[in-house]
Amino acid sequence: MSLDAGVVGTDGGHGHAVVIGSGFAGLTAARALAHFMDRVTVIERDWVPRGPGRRPGVPQARHTHSLTAAAQHGLEQLFPGVAGDLAGAGAVRVRMPQDMLVLGPGGWLPRFDSGLSLLSAGRDLIDSALRERLRADPKVAFLPGHEALALEPGRHDTVTGVQVRARDRGAPGGWSERRLIPAEFVVDATGRGSRAPQWLAELGYDMPAETVAGPRDSFATAVFAPPVGHVADWKALLLMPDPGGRARGLLHPVEGGRWSVTLRTADPEQRPTDHAQFLQAAADLRHPLLHDVIEAATALGPVYGCDRTGNRRRHYERLRRWPDQFVVVGDALADLDPAHGQGLTFAVECALVLDRLLAGHGTTVGLGYRLRRALAHQLAPAWQAGPRRRAARDPRPGLRTRLAGRYTARVAAAATTDRAAATWLLERDQALTPRAAALRPGALRAALTGPRATAPAGPPSTTHGPTAPYRRRLAPDPPATATAPGAARTRHTGPPPHHPTAAPAGDRHRP
């Protein structure tokens, strides 16, 4: 389909829809609209790659991404069989905590089949799988190199299109004159940089109130190749912060047999910017396991940082006056803390809401209020979970916050030996459970009774735990004397809480 055919005119029926932004939220929204509209045009300010290329407008693409169980289920409804496409392209399925070593606030979690899983892959790979599906749909066209400038107003508080301009090297300023793309429905999926509030103000509408929750933490991510001969009975690592901290470490497998490692620090000024600082930050985590496995790995690129974190929400649902046939989705509506992987999940949920309400309503007209309310309702569990986690760090918390913190601490302590408590903790970490889930029988019992046994001293692994082969005593310990330069180091023995110091390259054992 030509681009011109995809952006002008209609074929009757439900007409033409425009999606502004070709990120994950825009791609899933386009899929939902293609189920209902005659044509869908995806407008993108930058170029749209073929294959897993990187767009300039997605700086966070370099950080660790994963699709939660909820996101996978939703994507299968929108793109049947897409999980197989992703797996064929190299995405790795990680069962939690069966395939993952998890250090919770109270200690190491047991490994069992909880029914939870992640699909881990680079963001570029995830987006490319959805783009290729949409490119194969004759209803959908991409319009790269075009910037949305304003909404086109219609009669009776409606939006009838988008004013855009195209990149033109020969034009003054590098942009062509603005032109109108008519549409019967417009979706803003431009992410955290959305200009929808300004567009609404230009049309005489009120700007939405905003809520910002949580401190601005920092992230640093690097990609590694596992050490040669690496042997492990796990695929991923997750080191959660203790109840009083925010430092967090994450190792996920991604396509190409690589590791994507992300560290979270509380102070933006302490965010590592090179590999030496990255290793030091990993060593400062609660347990040295993550540091030890990446110390022997090979870095495949620089360290990338991100300081744009926290939770920010625009309350469009509170506006009394709103232009019909226009909606805001994904990060443009609510920017969730990336530490818990809810951005992709919320984008899929937005698309499912759009798909369901369009099919049930039968027309794009008169749907604005219902859409805004439904999206706010869909956002509520993840939004409540984020600020609730941060409220526990308030220097003067209220009674409800103190009780919730104590309850969570007791469940986290029991999670080291109780599977029901461990499942609840993992679901809570990914904001998969509403507030009422805290009163599940298993979680409530764990909070009342506490741990059933002594928490394990080290990670539950036969390759990296206290009983790992390289920890076994091979010879009596020598006297505690200084080691001469160049002398061989002896292996560590017993089940101490730390791994042995890295040996010289010629003597290093498999990590």
Query: How does pLDDT run across 193-250, given as a tens digit for each residue?
Result: 899 999 999 999 999 999 987 666 788 999 999 999 999 999 999 999 887 777 889 9
Does position 3 have pLDDT exceeding 50, yes or no?
no
What is the number of H-type helices and E-type strands within the chain? 13, 22
Q: Is residue 389 one of the residues assigned to a domain? A: no
Range 299-325 average pLDDT: 89
Q: How far apart are CA 289 and CA 101, in angstroms?
A: 10
The answer to whether 235 touches 99, Cβ cutoff 8 Å, is yes
Model confidence at 33: pLDDT above 80: yes
Within a domain: residue 166? yes
Mean pLDDT of the chain: 83
> Are 407 and 397 contacting, i.e. CB atoms less than 8 angstroms apart?
no
In this predicted structure, the answer to whether residue 482 has a pLDDT above a threshold of 90 is: no
* Confidence (pLDDT) at 251: 96
Task: Kindly tell me if the per-residue pLDDT of 487 is higher than 50.
Answer: no
Residues 6+ apart with CB under 8 A from 131: 22, 27, 48, 50, 142
Task: Find out whether 52 and 122 touch, Cβ atoms under 8 Å.
Answer: yes
Q: Give me the number of domains the chain comprises.
A: 1
Within 10 A of 22 (CB to CB), how many other CB atoms are there?
A: 29
d(Cα 151, Cα 181) in Å, to the nearest integer? 10
Q: Does residue 148 lie within any of the structural domains?
A: yes
Quick one: CA torsion of 20, 26, 29, 33, rounded to 10 degrees? Answer: 50
CA dist 418 → 19, 108, 111, 366, 421 (Å):
46, 11, 11, 50, 5
Residue 76 lies in a domain: no
Which H or E run contains 399? helix 399-414
d(CA 464, CA 361): 55
387 exposed, middle or buried (CB, 10 Å; 0-12, 13-18, 19+)? Answer: middle
324 or 494, higher pLDDT: 324
In this structure, of 122-126, 259-263, 482-486, the range with the lowest mean pLDDT score is: 482-486
- pLDDT exceeds 70 at position 176: yes
Q: Map tokens 């693409």 to a residue.
A: 61
**Residue 273 covered by a domain:** no
**Which pLDDT band, with edges at 50, 70 and 90, does 462 fall under?**
very high
Q: Which domain holds residue 326?
A: 3-65+123-213+310-384
How far is 60 from 304, CA to CA, in rounded Å? 9
Given a cut of 60, whether residue 503 has pLDDT beyond it is no
Q: Which two tokens stand for residue 91?
A: 């995405």
Residue 409, pLDDT score:
83
pLDDT at 456 over 70: yes
Domain membership of residue 108 (yes or no) is no
- Indicate whether 338 belongs to any domain: yes
The DSSP element (H or E) to which 186 belongs, if any, is strand 185-188
For the stretch 376-407, pLDDT in tens is 999 988 787 654 444 434 445 567 667 777 88
CATH code, 362: 3.50.50.60
481 in a domain, yes or no? no
Across residues 411-436, what is the average pLDDT? Answer: 80
pLDDT digits (tens, 9 = 90+) for 336-371: 876 666 889 999 999 999 999 999 999 999 999 999
Quick: pLDDT tens for 272-293: 999 999 999 999 999 999 999 9
